[in-house]
Amino acid sequence: MPRNNEIRDRLLSHLPPATDLTAYRKQVAVTLEKNQKRIRLERILANLFWIFCAATAAIYIWFGNNGFQYPRAPFLACIFLLLGGVEILKHHVHSAQVELQKEVKQLQVQVFELQSSLADQASGSTS
């Protein structure tokens, strides 16, 4: 169990102090914006790679008959289609991961704001 407390302490050490909440909110907004730009670029590149793989597979199937005993062209076409599909799948997984991180960060900022407002109310009522 000490290991779990160690990990918990390390994670909690990265939390911003209540006085830096606005700076933390801005930092989160900048990070999320950079992630969104990267995801857009990644989507474009993954779609272009998929189009390239599909076109290459079609070319192998239509023009790949060069008289060999073994059917090499359909095998290569399947490989290219699989590569394109894997890249699209990787993009979707990464996009979902970034969306989840965005939601968690927004929730974290809301929790910090609530904690800050509760601390302000508690200090106001004790004064």
Q: Is the pLDDT of residue 125 over 50?
A: yes
The pLDDT score that the predictor gives to residue 13 is 63
**Per-residue model confidence (pLDDT) at position 96:** 94
pLDDT for 52 equals 93
Q: pLDDT tens digits for 69-121?
A: 667 778 888 898 999 999 999 999 999 999 998 898 888 888 888 887 887 78
Summarised one tens digit per residue, pLDDT across range 30-42 is 988 999 999 999 9
* Alpha carbon distances (Å) from 30 to 3, 33, 105, 106: 33, 5, 12, 12
